[in-house]
Amino acid sequence: MKKLLVYLKGFERECVLGPLFKLLEASFELVIPLIVARIIDGGIRSGDTGYIVRMVLIMAALGLVGLVSAVTAQYFAAKAAIGFSARLRHALMKHIQSLSYTEIDELGTSTLITRMTSDVNQVQSGVNMTLRLLLRSPFVVFGAMVMAFTIDFDIALIFAGVIAVLCVIVFSIMLASIPMYKRVQNQLDSVTASTRENLTGVRVIRAFGMEDAETGKFAKRNGLLTRFQLAVGRVSAAMNPVTYVVINIAVILLIRGGALKVGAGALTQGEVVALYNYMSQILVELVKMANLIILLTKAAACASRVARVLDVKSSQQDGTLVPADDAPRGEVVFDHVALTYKGAGAEAIEDISFTAKPGETIGIIGGTGSGKSTLVNLIPRFYDATHGTVTVDGVDVTRMRKDELRNRIAVVPQKAVLFKGTIRSNLLWGNANATQADIDEAIAVAQAGDVVASKEKGLDEPVEQGGRNFSGGQRQRLTIARALVRKPEILILDDSASALDYATDANLRRAIRNMENPPTTFIVSQRAASIRFADRIIVLDDGKAVGMGTHDELLKTCPVYQEIYFSQFKKEEVSANG
């Protein structure tokens, strides 16, 4: 929790004024039992109605001032807590964006979602209640004990004993429940992961009739979360009844001792009532303190989880170099490159070497899991090579500034993702300063003109989250257009035309090649037809480059390429075309 307090900077005034107004309210509350005692001893006993009215008006005034103080305190506490959580979320998101794919893969999407939402909400509640009650409740408890000592020393010893016993109970339950709340939040990660997986893959689940199986898995994980919550709930729930038992025993002792002292003339009836009221105040505040401790326990467990994410350091350090002005624009060189994913037992790709000249088209093909996406992910430095070097425009990507590197590159990933907004706002992700001419050109090259024309509002057509109101082919063409709006020097198409028909795919590749300043293009595809006209084709098999050359060269010399190509085209057609 201490690591997160830095995000309260700027709210020092609220953090001081909130508790101060709460202490002011508590001070007025501590005076009330003395006024009640005076009403009983000085007004009711003597039948002085005027005195009773004056005391009641004083009580009402104190109550009104206390109400204003309480509302003011809650305003400052809420302002500080909400501002704190907003800053924390911003810092957490900024930190996550700074992590490489390696750390994000290791942490997991569901964990990050839980920590950005549920955990931060719990921490926000903890800060809010801390500012409101952490000082107020102890102040009232010990203030009531002090006021009891001013009335009668012997009776006040009961107060001191009760407070000591209750402190032991509260802290024992707190220490027992902290690790249990951590288990609850960890299991919540698992439930979130299951929910996200089922919602994302709902079509696949229904296509294979796996609804019952997935429901069973979710029920199992949710049941485990329920058991964890019930276990910690039983421990936490013990606080209130135990507290009430101790307080009521103390009340019995107080009334018995007070009655004896009233009989002996050592105490007045009003003073006994005042002592009882102070005991009731202690009861109320200790119940509040017990609930606060439970909330703080949850908040502390969640804060440690958030802090662990903030403690994760990126395995990548930003470079400082930029390519020289006279360097070739769009040249990519792989020099004996290998990559092993963190925790993997074998290399995903190994000993890859080639040079892509500016404006060339490089096709990358191979079986599933052969390392195609891994290879192109090294160019924009989503991952760092474990051996060898990747250079762009003559500079090692690990030494180049990331913003400089990625401004030169446009990536169209395997999964076509559109964001909620409009077609225009999605295209402007590629270049926020793009002109209408730039947008029109990108749409035309991406073969997305009919997509925009078919929509009633054209470029201002709304886009739902994930682009779910567009077909797969439409999403792919719009994501390609978004990349082309940037006018990149290097364009990476990572199996991003899989939903396009062969004619549209061919038109797309032809349009990219015929651009005024065509980018160096990397086409990752399972289709031999998509890469057969590339300047050079790299054939991957189990992470190794088993072939490199033109389509005609590979068809003669590379068995893996032959197998892929002939599985998609009949040998007779190949012979006839040859």
CATH number at residue 155: 1.20.1560.10
Contact indicator for 165, 176 with CB cutoff of 8 Å: no
C-beta separation of 412 from 493 below 8 A? yes
The CATH number assigned to the domain holding 419 equals 3.40.50.300
Give pLDDT, residue 570: 66
Burial of 114 (0-12, 13-18, 19+ CB in 10 A): buried
Is the distance from CB of 365 to CB of 537 less than 8 angstroms? Answer: yes
390 burial (CB, 10 Å; 0-12 / 13-18 / 19+) is buried
Q: Dihedral of CA 352/105/206/465: which sign?
A: negative
Domain count, the chain: 2
Percent composition of the chain: helix, strand, coil (DSSP 3-state, to 5):
65, 10, 25
| DSSP assignments along 531-546, one per residue | HTTSSEEEEEETTEEE
pLDDT (0 to 100) of residue 1: 62
One domain, residues 52 and 164? yes
Measured distance CA(36)–CA(502) in Å, rounded: 90
How far is it, in rounded angstroms, from Cα 533 to Cα 510?
10
Beta bridge partners of 339: 349
DSSP state of 400: B
In a domain, 374, yes or no: no
Residue 550 forms part of a structural domain: no
As given in the structure block, the two tokens for residue 416 are 């076509």
Task: Give a yes or no: residue 378 inside a domain.
Answer: no
Q: What is the pLDDT of residue 545?
A: 92
Three-class secondary structure of residue 354 per DSSP: strand
On whether residue 537 sits in a domain, the answer given is: no
3-class secondary-structure state, position 471: coil
In this structure, are residues 425 and 506 in contact, taking their beta carbons and an 8 Å threshold?
A: no
CB 192 within 8 A of CB 110: yes
**For residue 319, with 0-12 CB atoms within 10 Å meaning exposed, 13-18 middle and 19 or more buried, which class applies?**
middle
Contact at 8 Å (CB) between 55 and 43? yes
Asked if residues 243 and 287 have their Cβ atoms less than 8 Å apart, the reply is yes
Distance CA 530, CA 525 (A): 7
CB 332 within 8 A of CB 490: yes
Neighbouring-strand partners of residue 537:
363, 549
Task: Choose the final residue of a domain: 463, 487, 511.
Answer: 487
Q: Quick check: is 522 in a domain?
A: no
Q: What is the pLDDT of residue 578?
A: 45
From CA 51, how far away is CA 38, in angstroms rounded? Answer: 9
Query: Helix, strand or coil for residue 330?
Result: coil
Which of 433, 444, 466, 16 minimizes the C-alpha distance to 200?
Answer: 466
Classify residue 454: in a domain, yes or no.
yes
Computed over every residue of the chain, the mean pLDDT equals: 86
CA 251 – CA 275 distance, rounded (Å): 9
Kindly tell me the burial class for residue 525, based on how many C-beta atoms sit within 10 Å of its own C-beta (0-12, 13-18, 19 or more): buried
Query: Does 306 share its domain with 416?
Result: no
Q: Measure the N-to-C terminal CA separation of the chain; round to a whole number of Å.
A: 71
pLDDT at 572: 41
> Which H/E stretch holds residue 353?
strand 349-356
Listed as ranges, residues in the chain with pLDDT below 50 are 571-578
List phi, psi (to 5°) of 342: -60, 125
> 487, 518, 553: which is the final residue of a domain?
487
Which helix (H) or strand (E) segment is 23 a member of?
A: helix 12-38
Q: Is the pTM of this model over 0.75?
A: no
User: Structural domain of residue 126, as residue ranges?
Assistant: 2-311
305 and 417 inside one domain: no
Model confidence pLDDT, tens digit, residues 339-360: 998 877 788 999 999 999 999 9
Which residue, of 487, 516, 546, is where some domain finishes? 487
Task: Tell whether 463 is covered by a domain.
Answer: yes
| Residue 422 · residue 374 · CB < 8 Å | no
Cβ pair 380, 374 in contact under 8 A: no
Q: Do 87 and 211 fall within a single domain?
A: yes
Q: Is 258 part of any domain?
A: yes
